Amino acid sequence: MLTPPPTIAPFLALALALAAMPVAGAESPPELDNAAAVRALAPEVAAQRRPVHLRGNLLLVTAPRNALVLLDRTEGIYVELGEVVENRFRLGDELDVRGETDAGDFAPIVRAQRVERLGPGALPLPRPTTIAELNAGGFDAAWVELRGIVRACVPTPKERMPVSRGGTGGIAPNPGESWLVTFAQGDDKMEVQINGQLQPQELVDAEVRLRGVVFNVHNANRQFVRANLQVANRAMVEVIVPPPADPFALPVQPISEVLRFSRSGFTGRRVHVRGVVTGHKGGHTLWLREGERGMQIDSAQPGNLTPGDWVDVVGFPDHGSYTPSLSDAVFRKISSGPAPRAQPLRRPEDIARFDANLVQIDAELRELRMTPEGLLLVLRWNGIEVNGRLSQLAGESAPPAWEPGSLLRVTGICLTGRTNFLRPTGLWVAEDLQLWLRNAADISVLRPAPWLTLHRALGLVIAVLVITLLALVAMAVVTRRQIAQREEARKLAEVEFSAMLAERNRLAREIHDTLAQDLNAVSMQLELARNAARAGGAEAVGGFLSAAHQIVRQCLASARESIWDMRSHILERHDLVGALKTVAEQLRGAWRARSACGCRGSRAGSRPRWRTTCCASDRRPCRTP
């Protein structure tokens, strides 16, 4: 590291200090004076806490009273407060807000440092819009107006805290009631929260105009999910076309006539139908039949209906599924009757005619599968796969008679599955069938499954394969053992042969070196004796014969020694017991160990002849009884 000279160090320190000081005349970031300018900031820039000074009208105060929505001459913006707001503000009041920007969780917001009420004011006209535009995600804290039909109105659940507070013309000390309203524009729907006291019968099926503030639902990654609307109070709801006083006073419309072609189109208002109940999931779905036509009704109304009950139903018609259905419906029981009979399905073309109706099929059970929603039956009918769902047996086991391969008669609600359009006529042809089974009584066994089912056949094949594998393993083990035994016998035979060959070679050497040489010497002596006899030397013949005799004796002695070397010398000097004792003594050596040696023997068919016991360590004499 380089160190500046002492004479330069003071000047360098002064230069650094001057560089760290703000430059004279430098300006801080300009103060933002409208909501649109704040919204135009990137999240990274908004997080730098740029100064803000806004003036506008109060649109809404949140339920915890720690934030509000302000609308200035450009647009609305969400303002977080440093303290809880008291009841000194009213809707439309003109406010002066000073603070700084913040990135917010979805769009840039303002964190207020001071909020001052300038006086009462009037709310400006809202911007007319549609649900489709709001769901495009370009609105946040916007003051808008929607026109449509109220399809449902229920109290806000306790676990869902109201976002906003409101009252008659101002911020009420107690928000009181809060309602969740399902608001529809054609096929588009939106959830709207309205604060204050409401009468649902005054709004459901009414055409209304709503004024409120848009709050966007987003995820933790600042991404848009959906839009909803916060309405401060009942005064922001204008009824344009009121609902009928008694919805069941509407004219009864045949189920087969719902959503049929009309030059005036569909109004989106409720219709009144009547029919006999074929199935009911309490608080969820109801199925009706009128004549040969069926219809699915979505209704959260409590109560239990049984097949055979006649009911009046008022609901909003929905299209998109194969058969029109009613949603957000209410029903009223008229009378009770016998349970309706199921319509038999004989061919796939009948699916379209009996959609949402009670039907009956004879099908082969292919598979049983337990799911969290209930028991799923996979059936084979007329070459197509049918899924039947029985929710009543959720968490329970199926009866033993329901085995794959059995022929079942199944009764249930017909629900079309995968479908295609037949071009160019626009006719929609049903190609798939699903059944909702009401209870276990909807299933009867026509023919039990054969013993050799697919599952059992697979089990047998697996068992045969396992046994075959085990047999092959056993054969491999036995074969390896036999090979090892043969290999060991071969090695022993090789050792034996090697020993025999070595012994033969040794004997051959000894015979060649001793016996053969001695015999050759004897032959020479005898040859000399014969020559001497021919020459007449009797004394010489005797000498040669004596030498030959001596050589023969030596040869015999050598042969006996060789034979003696191949015999056990111990057995030559001792009996079996003595030999064993000698071996034991040799093995014990210098160890202080006791060794005992005994021998028992008998002749066939006689008493024991002798018995010898010997203790080598004690050196006691052997006893032979």
Task: Identify each DSSP E strand in 267-357 by its residue range.
Answer: 271-281, 285-290, 293-298, 310-318, 325-335, 343-344
Confidence of residue 90 (pLDDT cuts 50, 70, 90): confident
Q: Is 97 part of a structural domain of the chain?
A: yes
- Per-residue model confidence as pLDDT tens digits over 336-376: 999 999 999 998 888 888 999 999 999 999 998 888 888 99
C-alpha 80/C-alpha 77 separation (Å) is 10
C-alpha 311/C-alpha 333 separation (Å) is 4
Segment 319-337 mean pLDDT: 91
Report the sign of the C-alpha dihedral through residues 119, 120, 125, 130, in that order. positive
Q: Is 52 part of a structural domain of the chain?
A: yes
DSSP string, 107-129: S-EEEEEEEEEEE---PPPPEE-
Q: Is 362 part of a structural domain of the chain?
A: yes
C-alpha 251/C-alpha 248 separation (Å) is 8
Alpha helices in 190-237, H assignment, sequence order: 200-203
C-alpha 80/C-alpha 574 separation (Å) is 120
Considering 171-175, 263-267, 295-299, the range whose residues carry the highest mean pLDDT is 295-299
Together in a domain, 94 and 142:
no
pLDDT exceeds cutoff 80 at 594:
no
Together in a domain, 439 and 375:
yes
Q: Give pTM, 2 decimals.
A: 0.66
pLDDT exceeds cutoff 80 at 568:
no
The count of domains in the chain is 5
Together in a domain, 132 and 165:
yes
Task: Identify each DSSP E strand in 219-265 by its residue range.
Answer: 224-231, 237-241
In this structure, the number of other CB atoms found within 10 A of the CB of residue 585 comes to 14
Find residue 411's DSSP bridge partners: 360
More confident site: 15 or 255: 255
Least confident of 81-90, 405-414, 466-475, 478-487: 81-90
- H or E stretch covering 207: strand 207-218
Indicate which CATH number applies to the domain containing 68.
2.40.50.200
Q: Is 16 exposed, middle or buried (0-12, 13-18, 19+ CB in 10 A)?
A: exposed
Q: Which domain holds residue 51?
A: 35-119
- Per-residue model confidence as pLDDT tens digits over 432-452: 889 999 988 999 999 998 887
Together in a domain, 115 and 216:
no
Of 87, 119, 151, the position where a domain reaches its end is 119
Considering 256-265, 442-451, 573-582, the range whose residues carry the highest mean pLDDT is 442-451
Least confident of 138-147, 163-172, 493-502, 512-521: 163-172
Q: Is 251 part of a structural domain of the chain?
A: no
Chain centroid offset of residue 356 CA: 33
Of 241, 265, 289, the position where a domain reaches its end is 241
C-alpha 504/C-alpha 6 separation (Å) is 109
End-to-end CA distance of the chain: 111
What pLDDT was estimated at residue 161?
56
pLDDT exceeds cutoff 70 at 251:
yes
C-alpha 320/C-alpha 311 separation (Å) is 25
Tokens linked to 456: 């059992």
Find residue 95's DSSP bridge partners: 56, 117
Together in a domain, 39 and 99:
yes
C-alpha 590/C-alpha 423 separation (Å) is 111
| Single-letter amino acid code for the residue at 290 | E
Q: Is 49 part of a structural domain of the chain?
A: yes
Closest CA relative to residue 390, chosen from 378, 381, 380: 378
Together in a domain, 492 and 526:
yes
Together in a domain, 202 and 103:
no
SS3 of the chain: helix, strand, coil, percent, to 5: 30, 35, 35
Together in a domain, 131 and 237:
yes
Long-range residue pairs from 453-458, CB within 8 A, at least 24 positions apart, any chain: 453/403, 453/404, 453/405, 454/404, 454/405, 455/404
Closest CA relative to residue 414, chosen from 396, 391, 432, 390: 432
- Per-residue model confidence as pLDDT tens digits over 414-428: 988 655 555 555 666
For residue 374, what are the contacts with CB-CB under 8 A and spacing of at least 6? Answer: 389, 390, 391, 392, 393, 394
C-alpha 233/C-alpha 197 separation (Å) is 8
**Please, are residues 67 and 111 in contact by the beta-carbon 8 Å criterion?**
no
Together in a domain, 554 and 460:
yes
Indicate which CATH number applies to the domain containing 164.
2.40.50.140
Segment 38-52 mean pLDDT: 93
Tokens linked to 308: 């055979």
Together in a domain, 523 and 596:
no
C-alpha 581/C-alpha 393 separation (Å) is 87
Q: Is 429 helix (H, G, I), strand (E, B) or coil?
A: strand
- Report how far apart, in Å, the C-alpha atoms of 67 and of each of 141, 313, 590, 600 are: 12, 44, 106, 114
Of 119, 137, 163, the position where a domain reaches its end is 119
Together in a domain, 558 and 579:
no
pLDDT exceeds cutoff 80 at 50:
yes
Q: Is 296 part of a structural domain of the chain?
A: no
More confident site: 320 or 46: 46
Alpha helices in 381-515, H assignment, sequence order: 454-510
Q: Is 133 part of a structural domain of the chain?
A: yes
Buried b (16+ CB within 10 A) or exposed e, 117-137: eeeebebeebeebbbebbbee
Considering 189-203, 382-396, 463-477, 522-536, the range whose residues carry the highest mean pLDDT is 463-477
C-alpha 176/C-alpha 423 separation (Å) is 56
**Please, are residues 358 and 340 in contact by the beta-carbon 8 Å criterion?**
yes
Together in a domain, 561 and 596:
no
Tokens linked to 515: 């016996």
